[in-house]
């Protein structure tokens, strides 16, 4: 059982509801589970926005839950000055096949199933200066369920996973490494990025949450001199409805990436887990 709520990252009400639902469902997929039922939660500024806007938010949430095969069986709406939307989701998974932060093993490959950069993209969209290619790619990525990525992982020997959301890739990987008593090596050049996200980061257009994420993990990081500050910040970029990070035997990683890429995912083999050492996260070129 899980719950997640977000504030608007796009102007389109139906798309906002859809992204909010996809984001909430990700926690179930990150455990190798299948969403079954959900309760919706919406905060809405009654009197400031028409009720038709609320209907659109709810329609977007329903749309995505229908794609996931997850029934919305109830919910709650409150008057709130800032719109909010999310789901409390109940999912199921076979007990012996649960993915958790504790299941990582040294020698395993790390596969990321979506490109990074939604934090930078959303900040740019709110400023009104996001390049169209970046905005479109970010919206499509956030709207996409992690269902196919989860299903592909379940066909293989994934033992540990996390979704990549508010703590960024490095923050969520930190949690996995600490729980599994391992370290991780990331091939920075292999990490998929949304088009134009790196250019904005190089201009210093990185949201405060992403900078705080980097400050949090920086003491645990050893980075090659060739890894730029902009790249480090993107690896810590706070994601909305990000992808899954899956740990599995290296001999299965290539076929997993190939399957996901064929279905339209920006998936990539980005690194590996190592025995525990002084620095938890190693960023290599």
Helix (H, G, I), strand (E, B) or coil at 44: strand
pLDDT tier for residue 133 given thresholds of 50, 70 and 90: very high
Kindly give, in sequence order, each residue whose CB lies less than 8 Å from that of residue 38, ignoring residues fewer than 6 positions away.
Answer: 21, 24, 25, 65, 70, 71, 72, 73, 87, 88, 89, 90
**CATH H-level superfamily of 100-284:** PurM-like C-terminal domain (3.90.650.10)
pLDDT tier for residue 227 given thresholds of 50, 70 and 90: very high
Domain boundaries, the chain: 2-96, 100-284
Instruction: Classify residue 100 by its DSSP letter.
Output: B
The kind and range of the H/E element at 60 are: helix 51-68
Percent of the chain with pLDDT over 90: 100
Beta strands in the chain (DSSP E): 2-6, 34-44, 71-79, 84-92, 109-112, 160-163, 182-187, 221-223, 244-248, 268-275, 281-284
pLDDT of residue 54: 97
What is the average pLDDT across 272-283?
96
CATH topology of domain 2-96: 60s Ribosomal Protein L30; Chain: A; (3.30.1330)
Phi–psi pair at 77, nearest 5 degrees: -125, 135
Helix 51-68 to helix 13-29 angle (10° resolution) is 30
Give per-residue pLDDT as tens, 153-196: 999 999 999 999 999 999 999 999 999 999 999 999 999 999 99
Give per-residue pLDDT as tens, 199-222: 999 999 999 999 999 999 999 999
What is the average pLDDT across 84-113?
97
What is the average pLDDT across 25-37?
98
> Which pTM does this prediction carry?
0.96
What is the average pLDDT across 79-103?
96
């Amino acid at each position: 059982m899980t719950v997640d709520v977000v504030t608007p990252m796009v102007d389109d009400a139906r798309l906002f509801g859809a992204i909010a639902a996809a984001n909430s469902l990700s926690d179930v997929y990150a455990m190798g589970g299948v969403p079954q039922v959900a309760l919706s939660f919406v905060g809405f500024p009654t009197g400031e926005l028409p009720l038709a806007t609320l209907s659109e938010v709810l329609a977007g949430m329903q749309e995505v839950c229908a794609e996931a095969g997850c029934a919305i069986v109830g919910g709650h709406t409150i008057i709130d000055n800032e719109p909010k939307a999310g789901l409390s989701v109940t999912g199921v998974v076979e007990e012996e096949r649960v993915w958790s932060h504790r299941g990582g093993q040294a020698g395993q490959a790390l596969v990321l199933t979506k490109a990074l950069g939604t934090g930078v993209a959303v900040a740019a969209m709110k400023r009104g200066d996001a390049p169209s290619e970046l905005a479109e790619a970010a919206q499509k990525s956030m709207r996409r369920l992690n269902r196919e990525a989860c299903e592909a992982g379940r066909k293989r020997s994934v033992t540990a996973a996390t979704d990549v959301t508010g703590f960024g890739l490095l923050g969520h990987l930190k949690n996995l490494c600490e729980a599994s008593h391992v370290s991780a090596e990331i091939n920075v050049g292999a990490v998929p990025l949304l088009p134009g996200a790196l250019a904005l980061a190089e201009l210093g257009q990185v949201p405060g949450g992403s900078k705080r994420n980097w400050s949090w993990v920086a003491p645990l990081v050893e980075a090659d001199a060739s890894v730029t500050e902009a790249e480090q910040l993107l690896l810590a970029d706070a994601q909305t409805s990000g992808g899954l990070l899956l740990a599995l035997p290296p001999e299965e990683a290539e076929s997993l990436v190939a399957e996901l890429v064929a279905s339209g995912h920006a998936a990539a083999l980005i690194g590996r887990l190592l025995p525990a050492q002084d620095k938890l996260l190693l960023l290599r070129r």
